[in-house]
Amino acid sequence: MTDFGYREVAPEEKTRLVGQVFTSVAQKYDLMNDLMSLGIHRLWKRHFVATCGIRRGDQLLDLAGGTGDIAWLARGKGADVTVADINHAMLSVGRSRMDARGTVQGFDWAQVNAEALPFADGSFDHVTIAFGLRNVTWRDRALAEMYRVLRPGGRVHILEFSKVGLPALAKVYDTWSFGVLPRLGGAIAGDADSYQYLAESIRRFPDQPSLAEEMQDTGFERVGWSNLSGGICAIHRGARV
């Protein structure tokens, strides 16, 4: 059994349910991110990409790349980006956004499962995943696949919601997450249940030291993390040496 928010479900059931969540919210996903974070998610993502150490011509795999926010920023740094997501609806929204911008060069799109990537060993200089790791069914398999497809010297970059360190902020954050987000999801996306799951999935995700330990167990070296907004989210990084 594995977790789907606060529920325990069979692994194949989690994969199906998460798929339903993102198919349901795809069209309103970007708008909801702006509303849920009061626009701060854009600052987090810009900082995340700006500190990845991307160089022109690098090959970058953006897992759970969905609507293309990270891919767009990474391409701006000169990377050639493969945008990968398990969900067709999310990829469709991302491709439509890029088409509307008139930007098609430097992007590949792939519908893949992060736990079984169809790429050769050592294919990428960077692997990024933003707000997607907590939705995979088997996190250890996804981390192992990230390690496998990185070249020696390549780096993984994980942006994910995490453990808030300040008790006063944690209380406000809980009220916002469970009292406001599902209502916003119901009013804007027509799906309160999916946003209830997303709030619950954040609380079930490992804290900063625990995720770092999982990365080290996978084989990543030089593992570390930095908190954003008091630990509401954190950036974890590691290298394949």
Query: Residue 106 has what pLDDT?
Result: 86
Query: Residue 103 has what pLDDT?
Result: 73
Query: Residue 175 has what pLDDT?
Result: 94
Query: Among residues 74, 34, 40, 56, which one has the least CA distance to residue 157?
Result: 74
pLDDT in tens, 40-76: 999 999 999 999 999 999 999 999 998 899 999 999 9
User: Is-contact 135 64, C-beta < 8 A?
Assistant: yes
Query: Residue 50 has what pLDDT?
Result: 98
Query: Residue 100 has what pLDDT?
Result: 87
CA distances from 80 to 40, 67, 104, 186 (A): 26, 17, 11, 37
Chain centroid, CA 7 distance in Å: 21
Query: Residue 126 has what pLDDT?
Result: 98
Query: Residue 181 has what pLDDT?
Result: 93
SS (H, E, C) 7-59: EEECHHHHHHHHHHHHHHHHHHHHHHHHHHHCCHHHHHHHHHHHCCCCCCCCE
Q: Which residues contact 7 (CB under 8 A, 6 or more apart)?
A: none
* Mean pLDDT within 140-157: 98
Which CATH architecture fits 2-239? 3-Layer(aba) Sandwich (3.40)
Query: Residue 182 has what pLDDT?
Result: 94
Angle 162-218-1 (CA atoms, 0-180°, nearest 5)? 65
Residue 112, token pair as written in the block: 């893949």
pLDDT in tens, 76-111: 999 999 999 999 999 999 999 998 888 768 899 999
Q: Say what angle helices 88-101 and 29-37 make with each other, to 10 degrees.
A: 90
Query: Residue 102 has what pLDDT?
Result: 82
Ranking 81-85, 103-107, 221-225, 237-241 by mean pLDDT, the lowest is 103-107
pLDDT in tens, 151-207: 999 999 999 999 999 999 999 999 999 999 999 999 999 999 999 999 999 999 999
Segment (H or E) for 4: strand 2-4
Query: Residue 66 has what pLDDT?
Result: 87
Query: Residue 116 has what pLDDT?
Result: 98
Give me the residue spans of the domains in the chain: 2-239
